[in-house]
Amino acid sequence: MDRHRAVDSIWAVRRVLLGVLGRLVCKGRSDKLIGFLNSFSPPS
């Protein structure tokens, strides 16, 4: 029971951290990130 709750809390923390990180990346280096992703995707 406690282990399941701990796993849920870990996932919640990771989700929050990923959201904050994504927001910072979108604010700061959105152009670089878009170029980085576009380098992987085939040209349309």
Residue spans of the domains in the chain: they are: 2-40
Q: In the structure encoding, which two tokens stand for residue 33, read together?
A: 């990130």
Q: DSSP letter string over the chain? A: -HHHHHHHHHHHHHHHHHHHHHHHHHHHSHHHHHHHHHHHSPP-
- What pLDDT does residue 1 have? 63
**pLDDT given for residue 14 in this prediction:** 92
- Under 8 Å between Cβ of 25 and 33: yes
- At 23 the pLDDT is 81
Mark the ranges of the chain whose per-residue pLDDT is less than 70.
1, 26-30, 41-44
pLDDT at 31: 72
In this structure, what token pair is assigned to residue 9? 């809390």
Which residue is it, tokens 């709750």? 5
